[in-house]
């Protein structure tokens, strides 16, 4: 028995001394650009997120996987430029364009510059292809047809390592249909230019000579362009104009490329908009055929009693139905004018709200609001 007891104590001592586990906590490098004045927020599908602030730029590819750039690292833009810039994200690249200026962000760094200003590039729009090619499309030339009417010729300009390169095309828009250009890629990777007519370009990376022209034949045939478009089952959905604080978007288009018919839909026929506000000021995301849109109120100071400050609508153009979510006031957010921008992707119940004190996460289900960088701090 004594021998067994000795063995037991020896074993117990060995086990006890070898049981201590070591854990190491490493310091965390947080994106401090997100704790300053936020100008722009964009949420994309998955966990991708972009924010432009007074201090710099933040691009998140996935949870806790991000890059940040300080304002000294690139040609800074003004508040108004960031507010109005077109921003597109694909294949871990983000392209922001304003007029002839562009900023391209990726894991490897930041590139900022100007498009080719040596010739026309009227009413341009920009996009990143699913393969990560950044490009701009605009009217690069003006000619005259047999009836002495102006004809606008589309050019494609790609951003390359050492600047940009332009591709002249045979795609033409008549003076009567001259309007803004917007772009989307279809499921086959073809570039769809949503002018009137719509052009579907398969070889957009080379000479853009292989394209299909689809002009509307029935319905609202005299539209000029379909903005912030998406394409689902060969139907293009989009806005009558790109929603902005300067020009709210009140109507939307549905262009069936198979039947060549165009329908115009007024959002307020289907969505019950509140009294205080100027309409849809931002397109947030597409959920299939449903446009996710931001309707901020101009109600002013409301206190922290959970009063509505801003609305997110999901207007389904195919089903002609509308669903709404509300951003309510709380102890941090008590004034509608305090909201600089809102980012939202339909796949989550979370809105990302930019304030002058930083970027916040707003839970649309519980109305709880926390600083975004807090989500990057968790037990490791």
Partner 1 sequence: MNLRTVITPSLLCFFLIIGIGAKAQQKSVYLFSFKHLKESVGHEFLLSPFLHHTKSPHLANYYVNGGSLIYPMPVYNRVYGIITATYQPKLRLVEFGSKASIALRIPMTLSLSTVDLKTRDGNKYTPSSVIRYNINSGFYEGSRDNALGTFSSEVGGLIGLDLGKGSTIENGAKTGLSLAAGYNIIYGPLILRKYDKEARSAYKGLLSWGSLIGQVGIIKKGYSFYYTFGLNPTRVHYDDSLGSESTVRTNTYQRLAIGFKLGK
Residue ranges binding partner 1 (CB under 8 A): 1, 3-5, 7-8, 11-12, 15-16, 19-30, 32, 35, 332, 357-358, 368-371, 373-374, 377-380
In the complex, least distance from residue 348 CB atom to partner 1, rounded to whole angstroms: 19
**In angstroms, how far is CA 52 from the centroid of its own chain?**
12
In the complex, least distance from residue 164 CB atom to partner 1, rounded to whole angstroms: 36
User: Smaller CB distance to partner 1: residue 186 or 357?
Assistant: 357
Question: Of 143, 135, 91, which Cα lies nearest the Cα of 115?
Answer: 135
In the complex, least distance from residue 289 CB atom to partner 1, rounded to whole angstroms: 37
Query: Could you give the angle at the alpha carbon of 133 between the alpha carbons of 197 and 118, nearest 5°?
Result: 70
User: Smaller CB distance to partner 1: residue 257 or 369?
Assistant: 369
Question: Of 195, 235, 258, which Cα lies nearest the Cα of 317?
Answer: 235
User: Smaller CB distance to partner 1: residue 28 or 150?
Assistant: 28
User: Smaller CB distance to partner 1: residue 25 or 161?
Assistant: 25
In the complex, least distance from residue 374 CB atom to partner 1, rounded to whole angstroms: 5
In the complex, least distance from residue 52 CB atom to partner 1, rounded to whole angstroms: 19
CA distance linking residue 169 with residue 271, whole number of Å:
40
User: Smaller CB distance to partner 1: residue 5 or 161?
Assistant: 5
In the complex, least distance from residue 21 CB atom to partner 1, rounded to whole angstroms: 5
User: Smaller CB distance to partner 1: residue 184 or 359?
Assistant: 359
The encoded tokens of residue 20 equal 């201590």
In the complex, least distance from residue 355 CB atom to partner 1, rounded to whole angstroms: 9
In the complex, least distance from residue 335 CB atom to partner 1, rounded to whole angstroms: 15
CB 41 within 8 A of CB 51: yes
Phi, psi of 20 (to 5 degrees): -75, 125
CB 284 within 8 A of CB 344: yes
User: Smaller CB distance to partner 1: residue 22 or 188?
Assistant: 22
How many CB atoms within 10 Å of residue 70? Answer: 13
CA distance linking residue 276 with residue 337, whole number of Å:
12
CB 126 within 8 A of CB 138: no
CA distance linking residue 16 with residue 47, whole number of Å:
44
Phi, psi of 109 (to 5 degrees): 150, -160
User: Smaller CB distance to partner 1: residue 239 or 362?
Assistant: 362
User: Which value, in Å, is the radius of gyration of the alpha carbons in the chain?
Assistant: 25
């Amino acid at each position: 028995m004594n021998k067994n007891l000795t063995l037991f104590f020896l074993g117990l001592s060995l086990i006890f001394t070898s049981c201590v586990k070591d854990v190491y906590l490493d310091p965390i490098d947080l994106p401090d650009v997100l704790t300053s004045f936020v100008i722009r927020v964009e949420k994309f599908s998955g966990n991708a997120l972009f924010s432009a602030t007074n201090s710099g730029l933040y691009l998140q590819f996935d949870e806790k996987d991000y890059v940040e750039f300080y304002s000294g690292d690139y040609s800074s833009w003004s508040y108004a430029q960031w507010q109005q810039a077109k921003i597109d994200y694909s294949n871990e690249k983000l392209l922001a364009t304003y007029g002839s200026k562009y900023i391209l962000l990726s894991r490897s760094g930041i590139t900022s510059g100007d498009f080719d200003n040596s010739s026309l590039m009227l009413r341009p729009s920009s996009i990143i292809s699913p393969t990560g090619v950044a490009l701009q499309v605009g009217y690069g030339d003006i000619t005259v047809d047999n009836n002495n009417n102006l004809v606008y010729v589309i050019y494609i300009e790609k951003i390359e390592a050492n600047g940009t390169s332009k591709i002249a095309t045979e795609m033409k828009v008549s003076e009567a249909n001259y309007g803004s250009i917007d772009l989307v890629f279809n499921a086959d990777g073809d570039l769809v230019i949503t002018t009137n007519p719509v052009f579907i370009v398969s070889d957009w990376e080379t000479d853009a000579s292989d394209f299909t022209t689809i002009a509307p034949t029935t319905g609202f045939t005299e539209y000029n362009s379909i903005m912030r478009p998406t394409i689902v089952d060969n139907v293009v959905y989009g806005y009558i104009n790109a929603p902005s604080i300067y020009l709210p978007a009140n109507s939307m288009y549905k262009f069936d490329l198979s039947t060549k018919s165009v329908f115009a839909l007024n959002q307020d026929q289907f969505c019950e908009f509140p009294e205080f506000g100027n309409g849809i000021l931002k397109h947030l995301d597409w959920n299939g055929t449903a446009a996710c849109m931001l309707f901020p109120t101009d109600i002013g100071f409301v206190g922290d009693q959970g009063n509505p400050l801003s609305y997110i609508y999901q207007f389904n153009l195919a089903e002609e139905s509308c669903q709404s979510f509300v951003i309510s006031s709380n102890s941090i957010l008590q004034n509608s004018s305090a909201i600089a921008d809102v980012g939202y992707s339909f796949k989550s119940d979370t809105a990302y709200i930019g304030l002058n004190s930083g970027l916040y996460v707003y839970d649309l289900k519980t109305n709880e609001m926390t600083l975004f960088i807090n989500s990057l701090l968790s037990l490791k």
